[in-house]
Amino acid sequence: MYAAIYCRKSVNTHRGESMQSQIDHCRACLAAHRSPEEAAQAWVYQDEGFSGAALYRPAMQRLLSDIRANIIHCVVCYRLDRISRSVSDFTALMEEFARHQVSFLCASEEFDTAKPMGRAMLYIASVFSQLERETIAERVRDNMYTLAAGGRWMGGPPPYGYQILRTAVPKAASHLAVLESEFAVVRDLFRIMRQGGSLALAEQRLQIYRNRQGKRFSRRYLRAMLQNPVYAAADSDTAAWLQAHGYQICFSPQQQCRNGVLVYGKHPNHSAAEMLCLAAEGMHPAVCSGAEWCALQAATMYPRPRCSAIASLGLLRGRLRCGCCGDIMQCKKRSGRDGQYDYLCRAKARAHACDCRNLQGVAADRAVWNALLVYLPSSAAKQLSQISQVARIAVCSLVVEAAEWNGETLTLTLRR
């Protein structure tokens, strides 16, 4: 059995405690409390760019899997908030460690978990870690409201048709301005669509132009432009549409407005509870009115289902998670094979951030359904074996609470 060193940073920057610095402190702690040999052989688990608000982090999930496999006997971290910034998650972790007889060490804070007072101080420290996380989140929200009130550009590449104009030295004082060489293409695109054209027609008419990567405009690229609210006027129609789709409106909706909309959001690695989406009035000119933009969304643009009808009938859809990174596993139809689909990790599909093997959907659903029938009386199992796939999904939602696939083993958690 081995000792485990767990390190985490919320963002990929060189500020704060670096990952290597955390590892060095943890090895020194292991050498002092255990032995230099154990410190040198310790396994390292690193999560960089993930918040401590949730436990669905790739390295954390690997660590828990190794603990359940009785490979790890001791876990050490640099600070308590590197493990978790949630009291409920921290309590669940400590109970998981106790079930598998795993000891816990903290390099910068001395806790003796063998004594009642040490365990009590450990939980008190976790409360303050959660308080610090919530305080930081509140400050970030307040800062976003301030930026939204001024219509400032947050940074990053500007949308096609605009450029960044800095009105002062600080970067926060930047806003969007028209880039004439690109803005003409955007106007042509919206004119084609307003006149009843399609994406195929727009792609054909705009093939003489090139995007910023020097390539022709594809339908996917044009669709993303038409869905971007930055080109819509900050009027009452746009405000109503954005508010209906979960955005907080930070401007006074008017009947007519010449300026476009700016959207502010949070990093995707943050938990859903910390997500904050704001819509503000920018300083850049809009391309079309809110009514025209909303009509485009309602007609053909927003949203379009990505999964086929076959793939949407997966028995574990919405309940199956990846055991490697903790993300949802979504259904994806196999091209050229009727009725065949796979369960694919969403992180793997979107950004190749996971290497978990796909799960064959038809075979997995058949195995899950046969396993559920074993727990039923023979008469009920015989009747349920003849029902449709839609009915099986309904039964599965009542019986199966959660499912996990780690690339080799499919694990089901049944409701009590």
Tell me the per-residue pLDDT of 93-139, one tens digit each, with 9 for 90 and over: 888 888 898 888 888 877 656 566 666 766 676 676 667 767 776 77
Per-residue model confidence (pLDDT) at position 308 = 44
Task: Give the residue among 179, 197, 177, 175 at the shortest CA–CA distance from 188.
Answer: 197
d(CA 400, CA 74): 33
Per-residue model confidence (pLDDT) at position 125 = 67
d(CA 128, CA 123): 9
Residue stretches of the chain with pLDDT short of 70: 12-17, 111-119, 121-123, 125-126, 128-130, 133, 137, 140-141, 144-151, 167-173, 265-276, 299-313, 336-338, 351, 376-377, 379-381, 416
Rounded (10°) CA dihedral 94, 99, 101, 102: -40
User: Could you say which architecture CATH assigns to the domain 2-138?
Assistant: 3-Layer(aba) Sandwich (3.40)
Task: Give the residue among 204, 258, 206 at the shortest CA–CA distance from 234.
Answer: 258
Please, which residues have CB within 8 angstroms of residue 140's CB and are 6 or more apart in sequence? 266
Query: Are residues 163 and 176 in contact, defined by beta-carbon separation less than 8 angstroms?
Result: yes
Per-residue model confidence (pLDDT) at position 55 = 82
d(CA 353, CA 168): 38
Indicate where the chain has its CATH 3.90.1750.20 domain(s).
151-301
Indicate where the chain has its CATH 3.40.50.1390 domain(s).
2-138
Per-residue model confidence (pLDDT) at position 303 = 46
Per-residue model confidence (pLDDT) at position 272 = 43
User: Could you say which architecture CATH assigns to the domain 151-301?
Assistant: Alpha-Beta Complex (3.90)
